[in-house]
Structures are given as C-alpha cells and as structure tokens.
Structure 1
Amino acid sequence: MQDTDVSEVAKAVVRRNTEEVQGGGDYDLYDMLFSDDFVDHTPQPGRTPDKAGALELYKTLRAAFPDFHAVIHWQAADGNLVTTYKTYHGTHQGEFFGIAPTGKAIQFETVDAMRVVDGRITEHWGVANLFSLMEQLGAGLGVR
C-alpha cells in the first residue's frame, strides 16, 4: 500500500473515532477502533495510559456533556500518524472535575496525534485547552 493510501485510511479511522465514538457515544465502535495494546502518551490526570483509561475519559466527558461533539478543522497525516486540530462543543449537564452542572455551553480546542496500525488506533499524544474549559465553567483557578 502506498504511503498516501495508508494516510487516508488512518485519517478515516481517526475521523470515525472523533465523530462516532466521541460525538456519538458508540463504545462498541471504540472497542473495534482501538488496539488492545493502545498507549496514551499524554493521559489526563487520574487516568491510566491504556485503552481502559481512554474509554473512561470518553465516558466521563459524555456524562458531563451529553451533547459532546467536535468540529474537525483539519487533519494531516505522515504515513500512519494523524494529527487533528478540532474544537469540542457541549453543554455542561453533569459533574465534571468536581464542578456541578452549570447548563453552560462550552467549547475548547484540541490538537492530537494518533497512530493507526492495521485499522486500529495504537498510540495517542494530545494537548487540550482545558484551562479555557474550566474558565468557561466558572472554576476559580486564581490565575491573574
């Protein structure tokens, strides 16, 4: 398979994860898209850096923001490594990091990279603007 073909397949897998798993809550698809030996190189605090930890994060986000979804602005791929820039949106209707539901609409940007091997996500690196999210939820972070 040519590098371009590998990249297009990898981008499609990552897009399905963003749209159908994160945005749609399809956890059966999550199990199909993520490798059993998946490694998250940048896990969120309190999460394990494995497949179970990433799934727990996805479920936590959907519980706090039931309409959680992303707008993908762009994707770029170098072989099987896909970088995605997106903005997540949702309405705060469940507890999140100890913050009671506010009913507020939120949005925050994320850049992540995912490696896809044989149609399954095997690795993740990511940076999310969680400071912006917490600020929107009214978390008093004490930053001046």
Structure 2
Amino acid sequence: MKNKMKLKNKLELKNKLELKNKLKDIISKSPLIETLIFVGFVIVSGILCGSFVNELTVANKIVWKDSFKILPTYLIFIYTFFIYQYNKFLYNERMDITKFSDEIYVAAYVKKSLYPELVESFKKDIRDGNTDNFNKFDDLIDIKALMNRDNKDKGNDKL
C-alpha cells in the first residue's frame, strides 16, 4: 500500500514538473505571451486598487483606519505574492540564460550533456582495441565555435 502511494506521489510530482517546464518554455520563448501576462497584471491591479479605494471611501472621504477591515486589502497582498512569483520566475530564467555567456560554464554543460554518449563511444573503442581518443575529450567539442555562432533574434515569435 505504501509503495503504491509513493509511486502515485512520484507520478504527480513528475506531472507537475512537466507542466511547469511546458509553461516555462511557452512564457520564455514568446515575448507576446509575456506581454499579455503583463497587461493582465496591470488590469487586475487597476481593478483591485479601484475596489480598495471604493471600499475605503465614506461620504467622499477616505477612511484609512478601515484599511485592514476590507477584503481588497488582503486580495492586494495575495496579488502581490503572485506578481513576486512571476517576476522571480522571469529573473531565474534570465539568470539561467546569462550562464551560457560564460565559456567555462558552456563547456561544462556541453560535456555533461554529451558524457553518456561519449562513455558509450569510449567503451566501444576499448572493445575494439582503439585507445587513441581518450586524451582528446576537450578537442571533441569546440566551445568557442558553438558560442560564436550567429544566434540573433529573427523576430519570429513562437506562440
């Protein structure tokens, strides 16, 4: 019974991570989607602030002492938390991208990504008796060539 629960929890976590990665890809690869989310935040901010002021206004005067007695105050706090989470997501995404401007990081990332394939290739070479390529790992991957490719934005948004 416990094993079934653990398996179910692992599957739920895996599904959540897949959904998070899909959303991350959609938002980070499309300036249009990012702009629409920003516009949505602006509209919701206006509505919440308007309702906040409306609730505080009594006889054409704002009664500030009632600020924490009304629902819009708490909705604004919750809304601020959501904006923080979204901005944190954007910040982390941009920081992940800037890591790739560092040649050493890119070299390590590419080597890590290719490591399983290279190990299999080396195992095959060992079985075949070829040991010439073992000291040429760095020569297999030309990082400078990878980083100097023309990767300019062509203005094509992906939706």
TM-score range, shorter chain: under 0.3
TM-score, scaled to structure 1: 0.24
Higher strand share: 1
Over alpha carbons, which structure has the higher Rg?
A: 2
Q: Which gives a bigger RCO, structure 1 or 2 (Cα 8 Å, sep 6+)?
A: 2
Higher helix share: 2
TM-score, scaled to structure 2: 0.23
